[in-house]
Amino acid sequence: MHKIEAKTILSAENGMNVYRGCTHGCIYCDSRSECYQFTHSFEDIAYKENAPALLERALRTKRRKCMIGTGSMCDPYLPAERELLLTRRCLELIAQYDFGAAVLTKSDLILRDLDLLRQINTQQKAVVQMTLTTFDEDLCRILEPNVCTTERRFRVLQTMRENGIPTVVWLCPLLPYINDTEENLRGILQYCIEAGVRGIVCFGIGMTLRAGSREYFFSALDRHFPGLRQRYAHEFGTAYEIVSPQHTRLMRIFHDTCETHGILHTPEQCFAYLNELPEPFEQLTLW
Ligand code: SF4
């Protein structure tokens, strides 16, 4: 782990990543792809020590309140966050400056910051997003080895619901011949229904692979699923988008189930919800 001085913290879409790199070890991780130009090992976490200072400056000068997102590139609740508290300090600033927050993680460490999420949600809006890929707990320990498993993440979603904090689930990736099954899909959807999630982001039944992530994924296949690397190579070659043969059938189940239970289920619906910050009451009042 090493610290770096960042020049800016917020992207044009008001997203931020206080860490670069990740130790959760997901075998399908796209963030380790070569295109992101890591100059150090992906597990050697670079933390932006000046992230809170940069964020405070950015929030102070913003003309309009908005949702601030984190977690799209690297998980904001890495084990290192326990001591570094960078994500927590950023949430404190988001609360202090009265912005909204949309946080994406796989880790139950987010429960530590429940007080801040509640405060932000009371003042503006906070949305907790969790990635769920695998209903089978043993399989989850293989696919996402260094972070809490799906059942625990489901408990986190329930806790958020009990605290009035809306949630969105990212249902991806679904890896061909591994977790692209109806049983897996229905299991995760049942968790989402029970936890009362507002939306589910699912881009399709499949995954993406490119230089850097492909080699890491294939070596994991060799360790845990002998023979599957060869099947992938034969069926998908070096394609970036890997579409499961189950895509059409499972997407129908996905959309039908979400529709029945009133869950937002297209990426457009989910992103519109995540980015939307309701106008303050005063601004709506006609004088
Ligand atoms: S949590 Fe996200 S960034 Fe970290 S290893 Fe998994 S997929 Fe990659």
Question: Is position 267 within any domain?
Answer: yes
Distance between CA 233 and CA 206 in Å, rounded? 15
Residue whose CA is closest, atom 7 of ligand 1?
A: 29
CATH number at residue 112: 3.20.20.70
Q: What is the pLDDT along the chain (287 residues), one digit of tens a residue?
A: 999 999 999 999 999 999 999 999 999 999 999 999 888 899 999 999 999 999 999 999 999 999 999 999 899 999 999 999 999 999 999 999 999 999 999 999 999 999 999 999 999 999 999 999 999 999 999 999 999 999 999 999 999 999 999 999 999 999 999 999 999 999 999 999 999 999 999 999 999 999 999 999 999 999 999 999 999 999 999 999 999 999 999 999 999 999 999 999 999 999 999 999 987 654 444 44
Per the structure, how many domains does the chain have? 1
Give the Å distance between the CA of 116 and the centre of ligand 1: 24
User: Closest ligand 1 atom to the C-alpha of 25?
Assistant: 5
The model's pTM is 0.95
Does 286 fall in a domain? Answer: no
Give the range of the structural domain holding residue 98, as residue numbers without chain letter. Answer: 2-277
* Exposed / middle / buried, residue 64 (Cβ in 10 Å: 0-12, 13-18, 19+): exposed
Residue 284 placed within a domain: no
Q: 287: which residues sit within 8 A by CB, 6+ positions away? A: none
Whether 46 is covered by a domain: the verdict is: yes
Domain annotation covers residue 285: no
- Please tell me the distance between residue 73's alpha carbon and the centre of ligand 1 in angstroms: 8
Rounded distance, CA 169 to CA 142, Å?
20
Residue 287 domain-assigned (yes or no): no
* In a domain? residue 214: yes
For ligand 1, is residue 24 a contact (CB within 6 Å)?
Answer: yes
The answer as to whether 37 is a domain residue is yes
Residue among 74, 172, 210 to mutate when testing ligand 1 (max atoms within 8 A of CB): 74
